[in-house]
Amino acid sequence: MSALVRVVEKKSVPEGLNMLQGIPDVGLVGVIATSHIIFNLKMEEVAYIDSDLLPPLTVLYEGLPHSPIRIFGNDRLLALVSEIAIPANALRPVMKAIVDWIERKKVDKVFSLGGIAAPNRQDIEKPKVYTVASNEETLKFLRERNMEVMERGFLVGPQALLLQYCAEKKIGAVALLAESFYNYPDPEAAAAVINALNQLIEVPVNVQELLEKGEEIRLKMRDIMRRTRTELAQMRKAREYDIPSYYVA
């Protein structure tokens, strides 16, 4: 594990489970979707991330302090969610430490939930969900389930690093990316990504509530979206719009 980042376990964490991830990124899709799953499945906090590279803050719940980046779990599933935008310069060590921990816990597959900015999002009724795999075997798993695979292009940010580090360690990881707003919290995209996740593994949560509470969620997520925007600009997120070179396979 990176010396700068620690994953601290509060409870014993079973090995061999699947894991979800929701880290602030475009439209906060992953955070909204993962938080909704954690809340509805009544998952408990089992571990948290501590690092000198993170801002000096704590999140208060029912009067007690908690790390802003936490891992929740039940007997079938783990889920990591971050309530702060991870600073661009901390992203590599944090993601490395998380993937090292994933390896130690022999996580079966990692499903990273997120969004991909769609410039015409306002006019999209049902956001499409694209997928990316960390290795051949996982790619086959996606194709067999008729998922829309992103064949070429750039990914920037936490999901890009997760895929890269999981590929190095031969861990099966999937990024699910729903078409979303770049700058605005997008609960509809979060619902789309949960529906797509259910084509891959069973996560029994109702997305109707997410859609009904959409306006409330958008209002509550304004400040985290503001902070995330700055970090996205720092990591040059707009590179995802670039057209990749044609000749290099």
Partner 1 sequence: MRRRRSIFDIMWEYMEELERRTDELMREVFEKPSWDLETRSLEPLFNISVTPDEVVVTADMPYVDPETVEIEKLDEDLIEVSAKMRVKVTFRDLGVRHREGEFSCFRCRVPLPVPVEVGKAKIRVRRGILEIRLPRRRGYRIEVE
Min dist CB 90 to partner 1, Å, is 18
Nearer of residues 119 and 198 to partner 1, judged by Cβ: 119
Q: Is the dihedral of CA 117, 231, 212, 215 positive or negative?
A: negative
* Buried b / exposed e along 23-60 (16+ C-beta atoms within 10 A): bbbbbbbbbbbbbbbbebbebeebbbbebeebeeeeee
- Nearest to residue 162, comparing CAs of 16, 11, 19, 12? 19
Nearer to partner 1, 86 or 102 (CB): 86
CB 95, min distance to partner 1, A: 24
Closest approach of partner 1 to the CB of residue 208, in Å:
17
Dihedral sign for Cα atoms in the order 56, 59, 63, 65: negative
Q: Which residues bind partner 1 (CB under 8 A)?
A: 122-123, 181-185, 188, 214-216, 218-220, 222-223, 225-227, 229-230, 233
- Comparison of 8 and 57: residue with beta carbon closer to partner 1: 57
Q: Give 75 or 123: the residue with its C-beta nearer to partner 1.
A: 123
- Alpha-carbon distance of 2 to 188, in angstroms, equals 36
Instruction: Find the length of the chain.
Output: 249
Q: How far is the CB of 9 from partner 1 (least distance, A)?
A: 28
Nearer to partner 1, 219 or 249 (CB): 219
Give the nearest distance from C-beta 188 to partner 1 in angstroms: 8
